[in-house]
Amino acid sequence: MIEALVVSQILLAVLVLGLGVMCFALARQIGVLHERIAPAGALSVNQRLKVGDAAPPLSLTAIDGRAVKVGGGEGKSQLFFFLSPDCPICKTLLPIVQSIARAERDWLSVILASDGGDADRHREFQAREKLAEFPYVLSEPLGRSFGVGKLPYAVLVDDAGKVASMGLVNSREHLESLFEAKERGVASLQEFAARRAGEAEHDQRRRIGA
């Protein structure tokens, strides 16, 4: 009886050790796969503007009376975050937007935007979500000029008043990808990945031809 118990314990230990080795190997494979997958960025669906175009020259007034000039950030870039009080994803992203605004305040101004509706309802939303630090504009022409069709949507305008990046943003990674795309000079990380894939295919064809 004791011998059977000892044998079972040994077998159990071997099985646990084997399971641990398998988990470690699987974790390594997941890490390798993660490195090979191109980063998922904000999806750009705008057919009106492209990176490098001048932002639409609009002078707007926020719901608290502040003046907002598109492309006129006084030496700062501008992040326009389009949202709605009825958009649950927008609400989950607001703390991230606030964090980005505070961390990058030396060079970035954040403007919240919606296509219109009841101003009092938006003021209540602004107060409830503690968004008073940001200009909050209601402007259908702004959304139309930036080609906003779905929410949440964000547009990054550089300090020269030109569109740097834009796209649908459903996560922190999507928001951060706008800044990464700006650094790389592309509309979105999808465009960057497509460009890299095209370059790789061109190099492969050239090697085959050689």
Task: Choose from 1-10, 11-20, 82-91, 189-198 the range with maximum mean pLDDT.
Answer: 82-91
Strand order in the sheet with 77-82: 136-138, 108-114, 77-82, 153-157, 163-168
Per-residue pLDDT at 75: 80
Question: Encoding tokens for residue 100?
Answer: 């980005």
Q: For 19-31, what is each residue's pLDDT tens digit?
A: 766 765 665 555 4
Per-residue pLDDT at 208: 73
Q: What DSSP designation does 48 have?
A: S
181 or 41: which leads in pLDDT: 181
Residue 76 to residue 73: CA distance in whole angstroms: 5
Residue 126 to residue 81: CA distance in whole angstroms: 13
Span 198-203, average pLDDT: 62
pLDDT at 41 over 50: no
Span 12-20, average pLDDT: 70
Q: Which of 54-63, 73-82, 86-95, 185-194 has the lowest mean pLDDT?
A: 185-194
